[in-house]
Structure 1
């Protein structure tokens, strides 16, 4: 595997972004699953504007990308981002968050906006 280094300033910026538990959890989920804002609202029990703000910060550095499907926007991790290999090393140390999506499925709210 090609090992690339990240500049100290950029690493600090990424770590600061991921220092927020909500954003860190979002990125861990998005590493394996595309999600809609409404799903994150259900998972974190916070307002849609709050979730959108977290996603905007991640999108602004290119870690997250969005795809419109009809009237809904789905988010995914941008594995082509220069920082992704650095972020992936962090994510690999974290426990799976798949149970959060499984709980949504069980409640019938996995993709409530679609």
Structure 2
């Protein structure tokens, strides 16, 4: 019962509902969320902490970035999914969030393409600087049994 109440308290705020809505489209960084929602980084981070404490979102580092996504392993995820599905599809705030989110994702894709285009010739060398490929393959083999 307490977990359910914590979920409802965490989700029951306009900015946090907007965060859940945009995260339903995929993982994002805090920076991307600030651009999509037009809110400050401290404000988004505070809301994310409350959502994470309630088990609604998970945080995961990837390289020098930290991404957030919906916690689909939460026992009450079906309720979160229902909340998101219940949001009016013609809500102007949510529509503008999605428009900005589309631009943010397009910028992310452009930056990734530019990075790989600039580094493609040296890609094998760059990868070798971070971790030896044979160690990665050995670990994968071990994990797969």
- How many residues are paired up? 105
Paired residue for 1:62? 55
Paired residue for 2:45? 52
Structure 1: how far apart are the matches of 2:75 and 2:55?
9
Q: Which moved more, 1:49-58 or 1:85-94?
A: 85-94
Deviation digits for residues 27-84 of structure 1 (CA, Å, limit 9, x no counterpart): 1111221000001111222221111110000111111011111111000001110121
Give the CA deviation at 1:109. 6.1
The TM-score with structure 1 as length reference comes to 0.76
Which consecutive residues of structure 2, in runs of 5 or more, have no partner in the other structure? 116-145
Which consecutive residues of structure 1, in runs of 5 or more, have no partner in the other structure? 1-6
Paired residue for 1:43? 36
Structure 1: how far apart are the matches of 2:20 and 2:109?
17
Over 3 Å counting, the alpha-carbon distance change for 1:75 and 1:54 in structure 2 is same
Choose 1 or 2 for highest CA Rg.
2
Over 3 Å counting, the alpha-carbon distance change for 1:111 and 1:73 in structure 2 is farther
CA contact (8 A) 1:34 1:76 kept: yes
Aligned partner of residue 92 in structure 1, secondary structure: helix
> Which of the two has greater helix per residue?
2
Paired residue for 2:137? none
* Bigger relative contact order, structure 1 or 2 (CA pairs below 8 A, ≥6 apart): 1
CA contact (8 A) 1:37 1:51 kept: yes
